[in-house]
Amino acid sequence: MKQISMLIALLLLMPAVASGGKKEEKSPEKQLRVEVLLKDGSRTAGKLTQDWFRWPAKSINENFKVTADDGVETRYEAMQVDSIFEPETGLRYTVASIPVPKLTNKNNVEQWIVECGPRSEHAEILIYVAWFNMQYGTRSQWEPRRTYCVRFGSDSTIWPFYYPPQNGEFNMGIMKRGLKDVRPEAVKYIEEYFKKNKKLRKQLPENPALFLEAYEEYLTNNSK
Is the CB of residue 1 less than 8 Å from the CB of residue 16? no
- As a residue count, the chain comes to 224
CA dist 118 and 26 (Å) reads 30
pLDDT category at 143 given cuts 50, 70, 90 is confident
- Percent of the chain at pLDDT exceeding 90: 71
User: For residues 15 and 57, what is the distance between their CA atoms, to the nearest angstrom?
Assistant: 10
Terminal Cα distance for the chain, rounded: 35
Q: Is the pLDDT of residue 5 over 60?
A: no
Most confident of 22-31, 39-48, 53-62: 39-48
For the chain, how big is the Rg over CA atoms in Å? 18
**pTM of the predicted protein model:** 0.83
- What strands, in cross-sheet order, belong to the sheet with 159-162? 73-77, 63-68, 43-50, 33-38, 81-85, 92-99, 109-119, 123-136, 139-152, 159-162
> How many C-alpha atoms does 195 have within 13 Å on its Cβ side?
8
In this predicted model, what pLDDT tens digit does every residue of 62-72 receive, in sequence order? 999 999 989 99
Nearest residue to 67 via CA among 45, 35, 89, 43: 45
Q: What average pLDDT is seen over the chain?
A: 87
In angstroms, rounded to a whole number, what is the distance separating the alpha carbons of residues 161 and 142?
21
pLDDT in tens, 174-194: 999 999 999 999 999 999 999
Report residue 106's pLDDT band, with 50, 70 and 90 as the boundaries: confident
Residues with Cβ within 8 Å of residue 6, at least 6 apart in sequence? none
**For residue range 155-167, what is the model confidence (pLDDT) as tens digits?**
999 999 999 887 7
Instruction: Round to whole Å and give the CA distance between 212 and 224.
Output: 20
Residue ranges with strand state E in the chain: 33-38, 43-50, 63-68, 73-77, 81-85, 92-99, 109-119, 123-136, 139-152, 159-162
pLDDT at position 224, please?
Answer: 61
